[in-house]
Structure 1
Amino acid sequence: MASVRGNSVYQGVYGALRTLLHLTAVVQFGYGIYYDYNYVQFPTSEPEMRIHHPWGGKFKYLTFLDAIIQALYYIVSLVNDFVGTNELTPKKPPAVRRFKDWLMATLAFPVAINVGVTFWTLYAIDRELVFPKVLDPVFPSWLNHVLHTNIVVFIILELFISYRSYPKRSQGLAGLAIFMGAYLVWIHVVKHYSGVWVYPVLEVLQLPQRILFFAAVVGFTLSLYLLGEFLNNTVWAKEVKLAKRKSN
């Protein structure tokens, strides 16, 4: 009886911490989106700011779209905490749990890691290619870290604190490929109507280099899906085996 009570207390504390993580993420990313959309205004009169053409608004940046994805994911996770289930391998998971698992596997994890790694890699090589110094007065440091650092920190924490059932690999990769393909089409639409590329790095690349760059970004993002699946299967190895037994 004592061990059962102890386990019950542990599960209660663990569940509370998980819910607190989700709530913190919702508040953080929600406020980051709100602040970025309403208060971060890029000047366009200066020659060096031409790259930040107003056409397409904030929705042309993968960072902003990813912040929306992250906020949506943690909202769904918070709803699941209260009206869904966090049971490791439920026989009939509710719709909110199935959507939560799909969203984490297909978009939330790979896009967050892609944005974080790509941004800080280019920043380390030459920050003018991705985040020019002229942005410092209008784009606060805390927001930069919310959108480019904390997305990675929180999604890694989520990987360890919540088990999810991955969709069929072909379906998950297809969903991610459709999203990335749609985004590449979108930034070309923005280029057509604004006359400039969304990211400064694209301005310095010739056509063959841009093609290779786009192919590398898409390939890297798809590989992150596989990485997420591998990490999930490693961290939650027992639960994955149990789920496979139940499905057979």
Structure 2
Amino acid sequence: MTRTSTCAYHFILWNWYIFLNVYIPQLGTIFQDGAQTKYLTLFNLLLQAVFFGVACLDDVLKRIKGRKDIKFITAFRDLLFTTLAFPICTHSFILLFSLIEIILRPHHYPSRKTGLTLLAVSSVGYISRILWLHSKTGQWVYPMLARLSPVGLTAFFFLSYISAASIYLLGERLNHWKWGDARELHPNLCRRKAESPTFPHTTCSPAFLFY
């Protein structure tokens, strides 16, 4: 896929998720009053809109500046995708688009410890939001939680994190399968090695051309 096609793909999905985030709250009061941070499905749609917006911005700026790195935006794009957008990409179409994203371009994964820690922090944040809403309203966001004992709730939340962590590891493995270990090296270093006569043979993957 060319840079232009990738940018167009990101732009289309960005607008699609913006449409969903605007349209769904109009369907009923249940989808209003903080529903985007209350229901994981709606939060996921908001997160995807932010990610594809950042990805589209990254594409546009790189076209304007040639092949120079937009370090902060690219790093933020990768961190957002690897630790949040992909691990919680629930539902079929969101998962499909996230899998396509892995195939389209390489993403720099942080160390496994850092990635799973950031995922855990976000999970604790969301669980805290659910518990806070229950303490204020006396009702659970998801009615099924009312049937669980404190031990059952703890087990449910723990298994939910394990599920998200498993998807994180899946994304890491797919990224490695598709793009190899090239992202362990800074893309500029890959270019210098490839262009230097003292490094006639380089192990850098063509993945760095996407940066």
User: Are positions 1:159 and 2:105 aligned together?
Assistant: no
SS at the partner of 2:88? helix
Structure 1 stretches (4+) deviating beyond 3 angstroms? Answer: 54-58, 90-93, 238-244
C-alpha deviation, 1:240, in angstroms: 4.0
Q: Percent identity?
A: 28
C-alpha deviation, 1:238, in angstroms: 6.1
C-alpha deviation, 1:200, in angstroms: 2.2
Q: 1:238 to 1:206 in 2, by over 3 A?
A: closer
Q: Distance in 1 between matches of 2:174 and 2:60?
A: 26
Given that 2:107 and 2:183 are in contact with CA atoms closer than 8 Å, whether structure 1 keeps it comes out as no
Q: 1:186 to 1:67 in 2, by over 3 A?
A: same
Which structure 1 residue ranges, 5 or more long, are not aligned? 1-12, 43-51, 117-147
Which structure 2 residue ranges, 5 or more long, are not aligned? 191-211
Counterpart amino acid of 1:72?
V
C-alpha deviation, 1:172, in angstroms: 1.6
User: Which residue of the partner structure matches residue 70 of structure 1?
Assistant: 48
User: Which residue of the partner structure matches residue 195 of structure 1?
Assistant: 138
Given that 2:36 and 2:42 are in contact with CA atoms closer than 8 Å, whether structure 1 keeps it comes out as yes
User: Which residue of the partner structure matches residue 10 of structure 1?
Assistant: none
User: Which residue of the partner structure matches residue 145 of structure 1?
Assistant: none
Map 1:167-246 → 2, pairs under 5 A: 167-237=110-180, 239-240=182-183, 246=189
Q: Distance in 2 between matches of 1:63 and 1:55?
A: 15
What is the Cα-based RMSD across aligned positions, in Å? 2.6
SS at the partner of 1:198? coil
Higher relative contact order (CA 8 A, sep 6+): 1
Q: 1:23 to 1:238 in 2, by over 3 A?
A: same
SS at the partner of 2:108? coil
Task: Give the count of matched residue pairs.
Answer: 188
User: Which residue of the partner structure matches residue 197 of structure 2?
Assistant: none
User: Which residue of the partner structure matches residue 129 of structure 1?
Assistant: none
User: Which residue of the partner structure matches residue 198 of structure 2?
Assistant: none
User: Which residue of the partner structure matches residue 106 of structure 1?
Assistant: 83
Q: 1:240 to 1:94 in 2, by over 3 A?
A: closer
1:29 to 17, 41, 48: 17
SS at the partner of 1:111? coil
Q: Which digits, 9 at most, give the CA deviation of each residue in 1:132-187, with x for residues without a partner?
A: xxxxxxxxxxxxxxxx3321111111010011111122222221111000100110
